[in-house]
Structure 1
Amino acid sequence: MQLGKTQTLKISDKNNSGWILTDESGEKAFLPKIFIQEDKEIDDEIEVFVYQDDNKLKATTEIPLAEVGEFAVMSCVQSLPSGAFMDWGIIKDLFIPYKQQKTKIVEGKRYLVHIYVDEDLELITGTTKFKRNPQYQDLPLKKGDKVDLIMMNESELGWNVVINKKYIGLIYSSDVFKKLYPLSEEIGYIKEIREDGKIDVSLQPQGFENIDEFKKKILDRLEENYGLLYLSDKSSPEEIKDEVQMSKKNFKKAIGGLYKDKIIDILEDKIKLL
């Protein structure tokens, strides 16, 4: 049985309270009646998430915000001296012991949480303490991959981020062209996986082959501004960043392509749709 993971189990028995589910080894988990699907019979398979409740394995058809080994933003539903209970999307709340809280968790507030199994207690547990920019091996990522990001916090180098709910990376300040906020979600791109296993991320695709995305952003802004945008290849990097959230290099490539395609005209202090 994979604790804290979504998996496919077999229905081995039924009673008035729910179903008994088993894995290939014969280990059992209980699925309460409220999650039962009436079209299922004995020996049918069902996909469930397995968790613990009162030292017993239970299952749910609910989808958690994150599984063991993943990060998610969660709200605190109750804070006690011993720890905090977090809403992680299923019927049972996730417990974060006081010693696993980076700062005291306050009821009603949202926090970035990592889920793991406490090896001593063999319990699914949450923590708000995690390494910044850890070193990874054998990553299922490559340069240029489009990824989902959760913004962690801003540092002297830039922004620490969670990549695809599993990995921590860094967006350097030089690659930030928009206002960012802790716990917000963004789309990013793998910029570099370094030899030491650390991950550099960008908010924009890299290279000329991805220039279409920048072209679209400029066209969208032109349409919003009645076909005129008071930017040109002579505008400052700061002006371009504020207006279209991209580097001057990518802006010049994009408007060059749009001009070549006879979509825009480039004037002294502005560009306009043709």
Structure 2
Amino acid sequence: MIPGKTQILKIAEKNYSGLFLEDENGERAFLPKIFASESAEIGDEMEVFVYQDDDKLKATTEKPNAEVGEFAVMSCVQSLPSGAFMDWGIIKDLFVPYKQQKQKIIEGRRYLVHVFVDETLGLITGTTTFKRNPTYEDLPFRVGDKVNLIIMGESELGWNVVINKKYIGLVYASDVYKKLFPLSEETGYIKTIREDGKIDVSLQPQGYENIDEFQQIILQKLKENYGVLYLSDKSEPDEIKDELQMSKKNFKKAIGGLYRDKKIEIFEDKIRLIEETE
């Protein structure tokens, strides 16, 4: 049985307070009655999350915000001199010891927390101190893959991000075309997996094969602005970034395609939507 992970266990015993669930090795975790179905029978299998409570293994059908090895944004429900208790989506709060806090955690505030097993104590623990821009091997994605991001914070090179709740990567400042906020969620795309195992991420898809997405953004913006946008291939990159949250390079590719498809007209200082005729 693996504490801190969602797994499928078999019902081995029932009593008035809940169910005892068992893995293939005979190890057990207790599922309180509030999470047990009345129709559950011995021998049935259940998907549960297993956690530790007073040195005992317990199970819940709740879904944690993060499992062991993952990151999530969590709110502090109680802060003590010894550490802080974080709401991680299940009935028992996650403990972040004081020594695992990058800065003192304050009750009521939100923090990015990594869940791990403390090797000394053997307990599921949280930490807000983690290595920025680490290296990886055998990554489960390829260049161009669409991924989910949690924005960590700004650095000298750009913004550090958590990728798919498990990996830390970097969005270079030159690839940022919108306002970013720490702890917010964004969609990103794997830009480069470097030989040293570090990951670069873009907020926009790369290459001509993804240009349709930018064309749709421009068309939608044109419709919202009565068919006219005061942007052109002579506009400053910052103007395009502020209005459309895309780079000038992608903007030029997109309007070039829209022009060839006779969907827009391009002028010195603007583009205009061509009205469709019956």
TM-score, scaled relative to structure 1: 0.99
Q: How does 1:68-79 map to 2 (within 5 A)?
A: 68-79=68-79
Corresponding residue number in structure 1 for 2:122:
122
What residue identity is the alignment partner of 1:177?
Y
Tell me the residue number matched to 1:188: 188
CA distance in 2, matches of 1:219, 1:42: 59
What's the secondary structure of 2:226's corresponding residue? coil
Q: What RMSD in Å do the two structures reach over aligned CA positions?
A: 0.6
Q: Give distance in 1, aligned partners of 2:218 and 2:154.
A: 28
Distance 2:220 2:87 in 1: 38
Offset at residue 114 of structure 1 (A): 0.1
Shift of 1:54: 1.1
Tell me the TM-score normalized by structure 2. 0.98
In the comparison of the two structures, how many residue pairs are matched? 274
* Pairing 1:46-57 to 2, within 5 Å after superposition: 46-57=46-57
* Cα distance between partner residues in 2 of 1:238 and 1:96: 41
1:1-274 matches, within 5 Å, as 1-274=1-274
Runs of 4+ in structure 1 over 6 Å off:
none
Shift in Å, 1:39: 2.6
Give the unaligned 5+ runs of structure 2: none
Distance 1:233 1:39 in 2: 66
Q: What amino acid is aligned across from residue 114 of structure 2 in structure 1?
A: H
Distance 1:152 1:217 in 2: 26
> 1:38: how far off?
2.1
Q: What SS does the corresponding residue of 2:171 show, helix, strand or coil?
A: strand
Which structure 1 segments of 5+ residues have no match? Answer: none
Alpha-carbon separation, structure 2, partners of 1:49 and 1:135: 29
> Shift of the alpha carbon at 1:267?
1.3
Structure 1: how far apart are the matches of 2:112 and 2:83?
Answer: 15
Report the alpha carbon displacement of residue 224 of structure 1 after superposing the two structures with TM.
1.2
Identity of aligned residues (%): 78
Kindly provide the amino acid, as one letter, of the partner of residue 269 in structure 1.
D
SS at match of 2:16: coil
Paired with 2:257 and 2:242, the residues of 1 have a C-alpha distance of 21
Q: Which amino acid aligns with 1:114?
A: H
